[in-house]
Structures are given as structure tokens and as C-alpha cells.
């Protein structure tokens, strides 16, 4: 019995230190193979007298069966673990849709909007959206445009029932974001359709697209604003684009500036795309008006804001070198495909 316990103890120690199937197979061969000690003991049974031989054979058989059951169980468990690991590494979800090549292309307006948002995303701006059906407070009053303000005539829009209206600019999203009182710094970009009750001609539409961004943080200055505008313009039009700033007026910024670029179609010489003036205003911007900051409770702790925006409709027209923005909204797929070559 002492000899049996010694052989089993050595087997258990070797089995405990084996993890993989190859290591377990080596343990099995070492303790149960032809050259193992237990096999040697079986071969020596003939040297013993009958009663002793029978008792020793029974003990060796029990020991061999016990060791074989344990090592077989460990080998089976190791095999299952390795199979599970291999399946996990080679797993493929056949229910996922295939990666088919993209067909068609984005509408030029959508392509330009996506590029503009990508530029602002590099600067840390987060996308926000708002409703196209607005109330007068978020469209006018909260943005320093009271009822008697002349800008209400310039931004005359379409009025709906219950005193609602179609938003005349995407600055309504700025009003909605700030009304939630987020803690500075706040950097938000917004884009979408806007509506104005204008006579439709070659350069004006009753519905068009805008995109804007605003940044709220203590210590902001006009220097931050100009640096952002120059970065955005060069990222969209190239580093060699000619730029100029000029004073502007917007009711929700003070002071206000406009950023012009030399017409991309003529290089500033004057053509139909720029109406023969050579320059096109692409971005209107300024420091957020103190009245707007006061309206939303940010007139404290040195918080300042900058805001800037542009019409993606006009920007797309500049990109494509066309003078009639109406063609961007025409349901002519061949025409849009032809125009898209200038953006791709």
C-alpha cells in the first residue's frame, strides 16, 4: 500500500503541473506507458507466489484505472478549452450584412456639410440638432431680436398654426443648447435646413442649408475667433486661398465680422459665380452678444462666447463654381452627378 501511495503521489504532482494536452499526454505516457513504473510492476508479477500475485495485481489494476480516469478527464477538459478558444478566435457572425461596395454618391450639399462638420470635429466641436418647426422665443427673442427689430423683416419666415414658425436660421440650436445651462466650456456645431419667405431666383431660395458653431468659455477673444475662421476656411478651400475680414452686423453677436474668400471660380478676377466682384462672403461671425449671454445666465465669471456660421448652399455653389444655386435643388440626377465631380 505504501508503494501504491508513493506512485500515485508522484502521478498527482506531475498531473497538477500539466495544463495543455501535450503536457497531459506526457504525464500519461510517463506513468502509464510501456516504460512506466506501473507497467514494470505488472511484468514482475510472475515472480511472486500465487496468493501474493493475485493481491498485488488487483492493487496495480485499481491504481492504473484511477490514474487513467483522472488523466483522461483532464485531457478532455483541456481539449474542450482549446476548442472553445479556437472557435472564439475564428468566430464569424454569418448574420451580419456583407460589406458591399458603395453605390452612388452623396448629394453635393450633403457632401459639403459632412466635410464642414469633420473640420469642426477636429477642433473639438460636438454635433447638436434641433427642430425645424420653432417658436418665436428660440428663433428671435432669445437671440436679441425683439418684435420691433428690423432683422425680423430680413428673416421673414413661414408662420404656422399656434404661433409656431419654420426656423429662419440654425442659431435656434444655439438658443436651445444654452437654455439647458450646460457648464462651460461648450463647443457645439449644428447644421440643417432653414426657411425664409423670399422670392425665388437664381441666387435665392425659400429653403436652403446652413451650418454654424459656437464656443462658450471664460477668456475667449476675437483672436480665438479669427484663428478658428482662418483654420476652417483653409481646411475647406486649401492653404493658398485668399482671405479678408470685414465688419458686419448681426443682432446676436457684437462685434461682428465677415470672412470673404477670393472666388474659387475666377481667383478674385470677377465672374458670374461671384457676381463680378471677385470676393464671396462665406462665414459670418462675432463674439456672442452680451444680451444673449445674459438671457441664458452666462453673464458672469468672465464667460465669453464666439459664434460663426455659413450657408452650405452658397459654399457648395462656390465649390462647384456655379452661379445658380437653384440647380443644387433640381431633381435632375444627371446634372447633380456632373456637379458632384467638382466636390469628389
Which residues are documented as binding site for Mg(2+)?
A: 254
CB count within 10 Å of CB 59 equals: 14
Question: How far apart (Å, rounded) are the C-alpha atoms in residues 133 and 160?
Answer: 9
Backbone angles phi, psi at 36, to 5 degrees: -75, 165
CB 268 within 8 A of CB 242: yes
Backbone angles phi, psi at 102, to 5 degrees: -65, 135
Q: Return the HEC string of 58-96.
A: HHHHHHHHHHHHHHHHHHHHHHHHHHHHHHHHCCCCCCC
CB 268 within 8 A of CB 260: no
Name the percent of the chain in helix, strand, coil, to the closest 5: 45, 20, 35
Q: Is the omega angle on the peptide bond into residue 255 within 30 degrees of 0, that is, cis?
A: yes
Q: Is 43 exposed, middle or buried (0-12, 13-18, 19+ CB in 10 A)?
A: exposed
Question: How far apart (Å, rounded) are the C-alpha atoms in residues 340 and 289?
Answer: 38
Question: How far apart (Å, rounded) are the C-alpha atoms in residues 26 and 149?
Answer: 91
Question: How far apart (Å, rounded) are the C-alpha atoms in residues 31 and 15?
Answer: 10
- Taking CA atoms, 230 is separated from 80, 115, 159, 188, 283, in Å, by 62, 16, 37, 18, 10
DSSP assignment of 102-165 equals P-S---HHHHHHHHHHHHHHHTTPEE----SEE-HHHHTGGGT--TT-THHHHT---B-GGG-E
Backbone angles phi, psi at 342, to 5 degrees: -75, -20
Backbone angles phi, psi at 343, to 5 degrees: -95, -35
Residues annotated within a binding site:
254
Amino acid at each position: 500500500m505504501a508503494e501504491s501511495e508513493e506512485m500515485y503521489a508522484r502521478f498527482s504532482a506531475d498531473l497538477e503541473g500539466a495544463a495543455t494536452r501535450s503536457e497531459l499526454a506526457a504525464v500519461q505516457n510517463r506513468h502509464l506507458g510501456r516504460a512506466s513504473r506501473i507497467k514494470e510492476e505488472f511484468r514482475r508479477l510472475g515472480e511472486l507466489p500465487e496468493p501474493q500475485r493475485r493481491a498485488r495485481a488487483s492493487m496495480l489494476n485499481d491504481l492504473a484505472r484511477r490514474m487513467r480516469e483522472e488523466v483522461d478527464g483532464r485531457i478532455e477538459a483541456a481539449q474542450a478549452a482549446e476548442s472553445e478558444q479556437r472557435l472564439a478566435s475564428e468566430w464569424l457572425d454569418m448574420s451580419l450584412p456583407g460589406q458591399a461596395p458603395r453605390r452612388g454618391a452623396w448629394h453635393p450639399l450633403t457632401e459639403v456639410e459632412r466635410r464642414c462638420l469633420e473640420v469642426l470635429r477636429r477642433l473639438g466641436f460636438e454635433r447638436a440638432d434641433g427642430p425645424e418647426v420653432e417658436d418665436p422665443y428660440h428663433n428671435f427673442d432669445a437671440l436679441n431680436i425683439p418684435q420691433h427689430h428690423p432683422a425680423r423683416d430680413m428673416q421673414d419666415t413661414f408662420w404656422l398654426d399656434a404661433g409656431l414658425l419654420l426656423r429662419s436660421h440654425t442659431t435656434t440650436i444655439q438658443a436651445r443648447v444654452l437654455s439647458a445651462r450646460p457648464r462651460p466650456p461648450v463647443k457645439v456645431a449644428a447644421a440643417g435646413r432653414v426657411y425664409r419667405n423670399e422670392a425665388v431666383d437664381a441666387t435665392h431660395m425659400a429653403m436652403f442649408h446652413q451650418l454654424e458653431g459656437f464656443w462658450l468659455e471664460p477668456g475667449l477673444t476675437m483672436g480665438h475667433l479669427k484663428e478658428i475662421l482662418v483654420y476652417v476656411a483653409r481646411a475647406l478651400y486649401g492653404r493658398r486661398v485668399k482671405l479678408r475680414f470685414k465688419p458686419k452686423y448681426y443682432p446676436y453677436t457684437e462685434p461682428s465680422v465677415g470672412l470673404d474668400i477670393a472666388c474659387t471660380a475666377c481667383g478674385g478676377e470677377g465672374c458670374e459665380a461671384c457676381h463680378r466682384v471677385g470676393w464671396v462672403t462665406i462665414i459670418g461671425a462675432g463674439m456672442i452678444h452680451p444680451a444673449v449671454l445674459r438671457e441664458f445666465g452666462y453673464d458672469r465669471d468672465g464667460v465669453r462666447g464666439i459664434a460663426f456660421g455659413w450657408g452650405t448652399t452658397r459654399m457648395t455653389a462656390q465649390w462647384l463654381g456655379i452661379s445658380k444655386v437653384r440647380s443644387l435643388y433640381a431633381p435632375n440626377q444627371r446634372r447633380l452627378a456632373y456637379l458632384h465631380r467638382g466636390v469628389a
